[in-house]
Structure formats: C-alpha cells, structure tokens
Amino acid sequence: MSHQALKAVLEQTIHHTLYQKARNELIETIALAQKLGGSIVPFLGPTRCGKSRMLEDIRGELGRPTKELEGWVYDSDFAIGSIPNKPNDKMLVRSMLASLGLNGKRGLSASEIEAQLYREITSKGIQVIALDECNHCAERGHHLSKRGVTDHFKRLVDNTGVTLVLCGLPKFQKILDEIEQCRDRSMKTIQILPYSWSLEEEKTNFAGAIATAFGHLQDLGVSFDFDSQEVVVRLYGVSGGRIGVVMRVLHGAVGFINNNVLTYESIARSAKTVLQAQHRPDFFADLGYRYGRPLIENISDLERACRLTQGELAAIAPEAKTDVASLDWQYDRRWSDPVCPECLANGHLYHQSWRHGLVTACHTLIELVSRIRRKATDAGGDTVAFSDLTLRRTTDKIALKKLLELICEGTVQATLASLDAKLADFRFLKSDVEYVLKSERHSLDWTANDVAKLTGWKAQSVTHWCKEGLLESRTVSHGIGVSFLVSPMQLAAFQSEFVPLGTIAKSRNTTSRKLLSGLAKRGIKTHGAVIEGKTSRGHLVKLRDLATLAD
C-alpha cells in the first residue's frame, strides 16, 4: 500500500464525540442566529482541535448555491476566510472581502473597501461568513484597538444581517468580555476542547477516536505490532487529548511503515520527529522493558523489578537507562520535569509536583493522605494548615523536615476538621507544631519575626537593626536571601543599650514625631531609623543619652 493512499485515509474527518458535539451545537447556533437576523457566533478552542476542518465540514452541510451575477458564480452562501497576523483596518476588511473570493481595487480606503464588502454580501446573497484566526486581533502587536476590531464586526452584522462566525484561540474571548457592544451582539461561545483523562467517559471516547483511525488503516490492509492500550496512553501524553495532534503523529508514522506493519517504534519515531518535544518528557521512552514486553504501570511492581524497597523509587527521568539483564536501574532525581508510570498511565503530562519533596511517587501521596486522615484526632486549640509548614515559618530546614516526617508517621496528628479536606488544607495543632520546631532546632535563637512577637516591635525594624549591626545576630541562608537569628543573650545586650522610640512614645501616651522634635532640641540623636520616602521608623535611643535628661 502506497504512502499516499495511507495518508489520504488519515485525512478523513473523524467524527469523534467532542467533535460531533461541538459540530451539532455550532449548526444549531448558526441556524438560530440566521432566524434572529444575523449575529456573531464565537467558535473557540486550542490549536489542533479541528476548528478549521469543522468550518469546511459545516459549509458543506449548511451552504447553498448562490445566484450568478455579472459573470461571478459563488459556490456557496457560506463563505470562509482568515484574518491575517497583526491586522490593521484595511487588512481586516480585505480579509472579509477575500472570503468572498474578491480582493478589492488597489488604492481604496478601508471605508471604501467596507462599502464594497456590504454590496457584495447583499448582491450575492451571502448568509454566513466564517473568519478563522480571529485571535490575531487579540495578540500583541496588532494595529487595531479592541474597540476598533469589534466595530468592524458590529457594523458588518448590523448593515448586512449576515451571521459572522469568529473562529480562533480562546484568547479572543477577552475582547468579547471587555467590549459590551460586541458581547451583546454575540451568541454563546461554542468551544471545542481536548479530551480530559481524568474523566472516565472522555478517556473512553479518546480511545474510541484513535480506534477509528486505526480501523481506517486496517481496512487498507495495515497490521499492527503493538499493544493498543499502551499506545493510546502514550498518544494522550504527547497530544494532551487533541485528536489533531494524534493524527499528525499517525501521518508521520505511516511514513515509517515497512511491509504494511505499523509498529510501536514507528509511532514513537514519528512523535519525536513531527512534534516539538525538547521541553516535554519523552512519553515513548521505555520504562524498564524492551519493546514487546508489557508496560509496567504499577510503581510497586517497578520497585520490586528494580530491587528497591517500597517507597524508595523517585520519579523516573525520561532518559533513565536500564540494564535489563541485571535490573540495575539508573535514574536522575534532579530531573526538572519527571514522569512516573502511574502519571503516564493516567494521562498526566507531567509528574505531580510536591511542595516538600518527601513524596517519592504518586501512589505514595495517596497512601500518605489516607494515613494522615485515618489518624486525625478530636483536639481543640489554634491550628496551622499543612500548606503553611514551609521555610517561611522557620529557617531551620532540618527541624521542618523532622516535623513533616512526624506528620507522615502519625506522631503529629491532624484534627478531625481535616477529614474532608485536601492535604494542603489539613490542620494541625499550633502547639504541636511549635513544640517540634523548637525542640529540633540547632539552637534556641530567634528570627526577626520571633523577636517582633516577643517585644511588640516591627519585624522590618528588627531586620534593619540586624543589618546595621546595632542588634548582634548571625545570618543563615533562606531561599535566595539570608535571615538573621538572634540569641537571648544578644537581645538582652541590645535592650541594655537601646530602647525603641516607639516604646517610649507608647508609655508616655504621645507620638514618636513629638518625641523626635523634643530630643532634637536637647541635642540627643537617634540611631537605626529606616527611611521610607519622607517618613522614617525604627528610631532607637541610647539609654545613656536618656539619662542625661535627668541631669
């Protein structure tokens, strides 16, 4: 069988479930819009979902032959055009005229071309104009304002009664949402979306669409040398549920067919060749077995096969190398976009990321949540959410890790209020959390926030005093910056030398500004102030200077 024959059969439109659903909705909406005397019908969806093909498909069903006039014969009263990139007024109107098969005379202004467009629509009896790539009007660099774009569409519908189908990417919806006049002339936006692997029905329908394509090839005598269920999972991974991308991969795969046999290797080779994949995991990478062996989709099985203890397996990098003879698995734990067999089997494009890095695989996460939920207790008091247990609460990474380990083990238990919550929203007694963090610290030093809570000072001022060297401290790494830790002895030494001006003002029931003025008159300087524009805060006064006021 020739490659051209195989290619031709793959170019047939596959009326899969989501395509047919959007098609029926679009036909019904266009019919209703025509009864209303013309409207704008937005038809939006991601690329490679079949929008442009559907317009051609619907024109064949809804379009009617038009009358002949002055030598011009229009095949259909359903016209299809495309909006160019970065359009201006004249380019936009010309693209509408081009949908009728006309270019317009050179030298005409945008308004003159627009008038010609209205005449042609009326004289030719055009009922529907579908403009593809309408998202070009919403992209950066276009030469028309959003209102300017919608004014053209609005005038076209008002002056001709035509039904205008605007087809493109979802970003065009922003224009409809912002411009009221266009929104009020528009029907409900019709969307055609990729299949979602998280929905069992859509998972089945996605597999059915691919089975239809395979069936067309099989009718031409092509045989298959792969596990169809495995290939469906891999094709979802590379396509994100978009049938158009799947068909592109299959188009490339038939170019590698030998002896009328479509193999796993030919599909994998096509996916790596026809798609931009350098920023995406290799969904056709072998996960531990050579071609022809069953795909391992269960992490616990994979751990046993690789002689690892349960829960030890980290997320597998796409370029993982396997020595099948010794089953000595090599993997890179630092891979930025890892993918594990369970995620792959469930159609996730990327491995589920995890805040704390303690979960080694997706099934571990599920078991962890269940275990924490089962051990929840009925306890009262202030609580802390699991999502707040980060290095923002403490700079001691070892203490934080110990706390998380105790939560995983069940030593630190969630409250019963967490039973129906997600893991990030689980609540833990604040007293339990603080006890573990303090007991596991390398020292009992305080952060700037700790000092602020103890004294009532502003944390920003405390940090500034540490930077200026007025409050002795030591620095520790915190993210991309540093934090300051203050020991009890250092805080005591600071309080024996300085007193914040705000503390004095509060005790005397006055303001810091008045005290500053009085101190300046007596020649007493302040220290450690944080300057913020025309204001300042965090003034410190030396105790020995205050003592001079008593002289």
Residue 350: band (very low, low, confident or very high) from pLDDT cuts 50, 70, 90: very low
Q: Using CA atoms, how far apart are residues 80 and 98, in angstroms rounded to an integer?
A: 9
Q: Are residues 287 and 314 in the same domain?
A: yes
Condensed to tens digits (0 to 9), the pLDDT of residues 4-15 reads 766 676 777 788
CATH at residue 86: 3.40.50.300
Does 540 fall in a domain?
yes
Residue 282: band (very low, low, confident or very high) from pLDDT cuts 50, 70, 90: low
Q: Using CA atoms, how far apart are residues 475 and 395, in angstroms rounded to an integer?
A: 10
Instruction: Report in angstroms the alpha-carbon separations of 110 from 113, 164, 339, 494.
Output: 5, 19, 53, 75
Q: Are residues 240 and 141 in the same domain?
A: no
Q: Are residues 454 and 415 in the same domain?
A: no
Report phi then psi at 520, rounded to 5: -65, -40
Instruction: Report in angstroms the alpha-carbon separations of 427 from 368, 376, 380, 413.
Output: 15, 9, 11, 9
Q: Are residues 456 and 434 in the same domain?
A: no
Which of the two residues, 106 and 47, has the higher pLDDT score?
A: 47
* Alpha helices by DSSP H, 14-109: 17-35, 51-62, 89-98
Condensed to tens digits (0 to 9), the pLDDT of residues 208-222 reads 888 888 888 888 888
Does 21 fall in a domain?
no
Q: Using CA atoms, how far apart are residues 93 and 392, in angstroms rounded to an integer?
A: 56
In this predicted structure, the answer to whether residue 512 has a pLDDT above a threshold of 70 is yes
Is there a contact between 195 and 72 (Cβ–Cβ < 8 Å)? no
In this predicted structure, the answer to whether residue 329 has a pLDDT above a threshold of 50 is no
Which are the contacts of 228, defined by CB distance < 8 A and separation ≥ 6?
211, 214
Pairing of strands 383-385, 427-429: antiparallel
In this predicted structure, the answer to whether residue 376 has a pLDDT above a threshold of 70 is yes
Report phi then psi at 383, rounded to 5: -125, 165
Please give the average per-residue pLDDT across 404-412, as a whole number.
82
* Alpha helices by DSSP H, 50-172: 51-62, 89-98, 110-124, 146-160
Q: Using CA atoms, how far apart are residues 537 and 433, in angstroms rounded to an integer?
A: 33
Whole-number pLDDT of residue 2: 65
Which of 254-268, 269-283, 351-365 is the least confident region? 351-365
Q: Are residues 158 and 75 in the same domain?
A: yes
Does 29 fall in a domain?
no
Q: Using CA atoms, how far apart are residues 437 and 151, in angstroms rounded to an integer?
A: 62
Report phi then psi at 126, rounded to 5: -70, 130
pTM (whole model) above 0.95: no
Q: How many domains does the chain have?
A: 4
Does 229 fall in a domain?
yes
The percent of residues above 70 in pLDDT, for the chain, comes to: 75
Last residue of a domain, one of 394, 422, 439: 439
Q: Using CA atoms, how far apart are residues 409 and 25, in angstroms rounded to an integer?
A: 53
Is there a contact between 120 and 97 (Cβ–Cβ < 8 Å)? yes
Does 176 fall in a domain?
yes
| Coil vs helix vs strand at 218 | helix
Which of the two residues, 270 and 279, has the higher pLDDT score?
A: 270
Q: Using CA atoms, how far apart are residues 174 and 487, in angstroms rounded to an integer?
A: 54
Residue 232: band (very low, low, confident or very high) from pLDDT cuts 50, 70, 90: confident
In this predicted structure, the answer to whether residue 355 has a pLDDT above a threshold of 60 is no
Q: Are residues 46 and 164 in the same domain?
A: yes
Q: Are residues 302 and 395 in the same domain?
A: no
Does 112 fall in a domain?
yes
Does 16 fall in a domain?
no
Whole-number pLDDT of residue 141: 63
Q: Are residues 155 and 223 in the same domain?
A: no
Last residue of a domain, one of 380, 414, 439: 439
Residue 190: band (very low, low, confident or very high) from pLDDT cuts 50, 70, 90: very high
DSSP 513: H
Q: Are residues 334 and 215 in the same domain?
A: yes
Does 419 fall in a domain?
yes
State which of 283-287, 332-336, 473-477 shows the largest mean pLDDT.
473-477
Note down the domain range covering 256.
200-345
Instruction: Report in angstroms the alpha-carbon separations of 201 from 18, 85, 194, 206, 450.
Output: 11, 38, 13, 9, 53
Q: Are residues 94 and 172 in the same domain?
A: yes
Is there a contact between 234 and 284 (Cβ–Cβ < 8 Å)? yes
Residue 188: band (very low, low, confident or very high) from pLDDT cuts 50, 70, 90: very high
- Number of Cβ within 10 Å of residue 438's Cβ equals 12
Last residue of a domain, one of 439, 464, 486: 439
Q: Are residues 170 and 235 in the same domain?
A: no
Report phi then psi at 162, rounded to 5: -75, 155
In this predicted structure, the answer to whether residue 479 has a pLDDT above a threshold of 80 is no
Residue 366: band (very low, low, confident or very high) from pLDDT cuts 50, 70, 90: low
Q: Are residues 210 and 330 in the same domain?
A: yes
